[in-house]
Structure 1
Amino acid sequence: MDKPKLWTKNFLIVSTANFFLYFTFYLLMVTITTFATERFHASPSEAGLASGIFVIGVLLSRIFSGRYIDQVGWKKMLYIGFILFLATTFLYFLVNSMVFLFINRFLNGAAMGIASTATGTIVAKIIPNERRGEGTGYYALSLTIAAAIGPFLGMFITEHSNFYMNFVVCIIFLILSFFAVFFIKIPKLEIVKGHSNNNKDFSLHNFFEIKAIPISIIAGVIALGYSSILTFISSYSKEINLMSVGSLFFIVYAVFVLLSRPFTGQMFDKKGENFVMYPAIALFALSLFFLSQTHGSLTLLLAAAILGLGYGTTSSSVQAIAIKVSPKHRIGLATSTNFIFQDLGVGIGPFILGYFVPLIGYRGLYMMMAAVAVLCIFLYYCLHSKKATSINDDTESIMA
């Protein structure tokens, strides 16, 4: 029996649009602190807040966009998010104070949260159920590649050109992807009878998909560990005199995600999520351990490669699991629930972990995060692993 088609025009457009959303996010995330310091002579804490407040905006908007996306309409929500994201990116040219910068970063993040919730929800509907893990994995590559190219290009532009050129590049790509999304054809949303009017009350159930919360908790803890790399790898590389090699860290990471994604997605669909998640979390822990023991270029790049196999796999798999365990009519909420917990991990990580650096150093921090990653194996077992077997059995019996 032939597999249903995955690489459709809709899938490619949504993945490309998502890439440029995250490309802008990562490019500005690593360069906005320099902008704040050089343009407004901001202190390190103020510059850090200018970077981190974006994630707060993303987090809050995901809560509400996930709750109202079915009412507003998936494609309309995507347009709203893109228009707001473009508008607030243009506003960077007018920023003339730190207060203005804080406000615009927050609004820019809120717009990003709306747009990325829409792309994640739309792609979940487009991907065939039989290729859920594979399709979600390939879609997540848009984020992974953006995480590698965005910071690299941002630092390159900042070093070799006017800082405002970063905004110009982001705006050009956002405009191109905005026009592309007009050509997406979204399948009709099937509303289950009895559920259409259940979301009028202001309750937790209407802002989160309860069935997606267990796997999302795991995703949040793993993202907390990843934030230690995203935030401190540059400073750590400088401290151990590997700055030139450290600039290649996320490039190597992205390459190994690209190499692993074809077979990890297929294994998810054929063997089940447990077959993929256990080794992926273990590899994530191993990458953090290698980072804590790094003294040379080879170990640092080896940690990046293992991180691509570990975190690169878990970040897409948890999204596929969240969608898999949730009712079809609540895909939007399941998607936003998972992203909210991941954003929370990445967002609060730098603030919490920053307190440990003066006490235990970067090596101690990465050793601590490796231990947390190992604990995630047991957390996964308790919150999802046993339940996953029954879900897979039920799915097989239905298909039979």
Structure 2
Amino acid sequence: MERTLRSNKSQRKPLWTKAFLITSLANLLLFFSFQMLIPTIPTHLSQLGGDNIQVGLVIGIFTISSLLTRPFAGRALDLLGRKHVLLVGLAICAFTIAGYSYIAAVTLILAARFVHGIGWGLSTTSLGTVIADIIPPERRGEGMGYYGLSNTLAMALGPLTGLWVMQSIGFSYVLLISTILALLSLFSSLFITYPKPLLSVIPRQRPRFVDRLWEQSALLPSALLLCSAICYGGIVTFITLFGLEAGIPNVGLFFLCNASMVLLVRPLTGVLFDRKGPEWVLLPGAAFTITGLILLSYAHSNTSLAIAALCYGVGFGSIQPALQAWTIQRSSPDRRGAANGTFFSANDLGIGLGAMALGALANWSGSYAMMYRYSTALIILFLLIYGWSFWAFTWQKKTAH
């Protein structure tokens, strides 16, 4: 018995390898560079004379270009190799951010944002695929949970750092620091090594052009992510306006509490995913997300806002890495690039739809509080989609026997 336990432990592949650490570091540097610009570049555009529509476009154009790029990035990753696509994407990000310093015209900044979105789509899809190649299959949920902490840390500290630098010494230094971080991400990525993905042993017909860009096995987790991302898009876009409506001046507390809880739960839910399966993570995660949205809609103080953020953070921190691990689990190694492209496209699309559709919902309902209450319907849809897929899989398995 003791000998068996020892042999099982010895067969368990290590997670904290050099490649895992370097890839996570490259991801942290890239996301920190990106997050520093989220609250600062719209302000800079406004100071240059951009109107409200153009300020909105500085985010919208970036999202559209990254969304359009991801399917082609996924295909390129499977055909050309991970590292080539990754380095090209990171180089585009770094040099585009540096170029913002020399652009004073609003229209040219919008054009640069489109190019930046292409680099972002290439690099983030590449990093997500590389880390999937590196993480041992039996520890995929755990590994994705730890890898996702780099995104969370950047999301928690990046915007605050960007605002502090801009208010203290100016926007030009925000661009300088952001450029250096992107270049460091590029430099560290030169040292990433990863196993060459095995080709699928199942012979398949040559896929159609559309099927080469989108991975069908990733559509279910991507549909679930879309529901969650629409809710998140509504939060990041309208939380400041909700704070004014509810009389809460410091809504930054929401992001701090949310990020803290995500940092705490991601490693735990990753292990739970590996041992028990996706339903043990996704169902409680959905319940916490609904609870967080409802509590947020009734928040009128810093304390109630913090409690709502903690609940939402448990849900958000559980769902996203579990769905990404499930996406990789469902796809063959030679289609991981396309699977990640499909997955991240759903995230981009969801955040963009959340900004637009939930904004219209707020206008119709008359308040941002009602908007957050109604948005719980998206998580109910999430549960219905997952429940239907679970029932269909169980029924198919029974009929097969």
| Bin of the TM-score, shorter chain as denominator length | over 0.9
Q: Distance in 2 between matches of 1:150 and 1:196?
A: 44
- Supply the AA of the counterpart residue of 2:139: R
Q: Distance in 1 between matches of 2:260 and 2:395?
A: 32
1:39-60 per-position Cα deviation (integer Å, ceiling 9, x unaligned): 2x22212101112211111111
Shift of 1:385: 6.4
How do 1:132-147 residues align onto structure 2 when only pairs under 5 Å count? Answer: 132-147=140-155
Q: Distance in 2 between matches of 1:154 and 1:388?
A: 49
1:397 maps to: none
- Supply the AA of the counterpart residue of 2:164: F
* TM-align CA RMSD: 2.0
Q: Distance in 2 between matches of 1:152 and 1:389?
A: 49
Shift of 1:266: 0.7
Distance 1:71 1:189, change over 3 A: same
Among 29, 35, 41, which residue is 1:26 paired with?
35
> Given the alignment of the two structures, is residue 86 of structure 1 paired with residue 91 of structure 2, yes or no?
no
Paired residues of 1:282 and 1:374 also in contact (CA < 8 A): no
Gaps of 5+ in 2: 1-7
TM-score, L = length of structure 1: 0.92
How do 1:215-254 residues align onto structure 2 when only pairs under 5 Å count? Answer: 215-244=221-250, 246-254=251-259
Shift of 1:35: 1.0
Paired residues of 1:32 and 1:51 also in contact (CA < 8 A): no
- Supply the AA of the counterpart residue of 1:249: F
Q: Distance in 2 between matches of 1:238 and 1:184?
A: 46
> Given the alignment of the two structures, is residue 57 of structure 1 paired with residue 65 of structure 2, yes or no?
yes
1:193-236 per-position Cα deviation (integer Å, ceiling 9, x unaligned): 6769936x5x2210011011011111111100111111111221
- Supply the AA of the counterpart residue of 1:258: L
Shift of 1:371: 2.6
1:16 maps to: 25
Moved more, 382-391 or 76-85: 382-391
Q: Distance in 2 between matches of 1:362 and 1:296?
A: 15
Paired residues of 1:216 and 1:337 also in contact (CA < 8 A): yes
Paired residues of 1:54 and 1:108 also in contact (CA < 8 A): yes
1:363 maps to: 369
1:53-111 per-position Cα deviation (integer Å, ceiling 9, x unaligned): 11111111101110111222101111111111111111111222121011111110110
Gaps of 5+ in 1: 395-400
Q: Distance in 2 between matches of 1:279 and 1:142?
A: 23
Q: Distance in 2 between matches of 1:196 and 1:20?
A: 39
- Supply the AA of the counterpart residue of 1:299: S
- Supply the AA of the counterpart residue of 1:263: L
> Given the alignment of the two structures, is residue 334 of structure 1 paired with residue 339 of structure 2, yes or no?
yes
Moved more, 231-240 or 49-58: 231-240
Q: Distance in 2 between matches of 1:196 and 1:253?
A: 44
Q: Distance in 2 between matches of 1:237 and 1:159?
A: 22
Aligned residues: 388
Among 106, 116, 126, which residue is 2:114 paired with?
106
> Given the alignment of the two structures, is residue 284 of structure 1 paired with residue 292 of structure 2, yes or no?
no
Distance 1:54 1:330, change over 3 A: same
1:126-147 per-position Cα deviation (integer Å, ceiling 9, x unaligned): 0001101111111111112211
TM-score, L = length of structure 2: 0.92
2:218 maps to: 212
1:149 maps to: 157
- Supply the AA of the counterpart residue of 1:30: P
Moved more, 124-133 or 329-338: 329-338
Q: Distance in 2 between matches of 1:388 and 1:255?
A: 37
Distance 1:214 1:97, change over 3 A: same
1:246-303 per-position Cα deviation (integer Å, ceiling 9, x unaligned): 1122121111111112221111011111011001011111111111001111110111
- Supply the AA of the counterpart residue of 1:43: D
Moved more, 132-141 or 377-386: 377-386
Paired residues of 1:284 and 1:310 also in contact (CA < 8 A): yes
Paired residues of 1:58 and 1:110 also in contact (CA < 8 A): yes
Aligned with 2:195: secondary structure? coil
Distance 1:140 1:188, change over 3 A: same
Paired residues of 1:292 and 1:363 also in contact (CA < 8 A): yes
Q: Distance in 2 between matches of 1:120 and 1:139?
A: 9
Q: Distance in 2 between matches of 1:14 and 1:365?
A: 38
Paired residues of 2:36 and 2:161 also in contact (CA < 8 A): yes
Shift of 1:384: 4.7
Q: Distance in 2 between matches of 1:160 and 1:385?
A: 56
2:5 maps to: none
- Supply the AA of the counterpart residue of 2:248: L
1:72 maps to: 80
- Supply the AA of the counterpart residue of 1:370: T
1:158-181 per-position Cα deviation (integer Å, ceiling 9, x unaligned): 222211221111111112221111
Paired residues of 2:78 and 2:338 also in contact (CA < 8 A): no
1:304 maps to: 309
Among 82, 96, 101, which residue is 2:104 paired with?
96
Paired residues of 2:29 and 2:184 also in contact (CA < 8 A): no
Q: Distance in 1 between matches of 2:106 and 2:204?
A: 44
Moved more, 350-359 or 335-344: 350-359
Q: Distance in 1 between matches of 2:215 and 2:23?
A: 23
Q: Distance in 1 between matches of 2:390 and 2:240?
A: 34
Shift of 1:375: 2.6
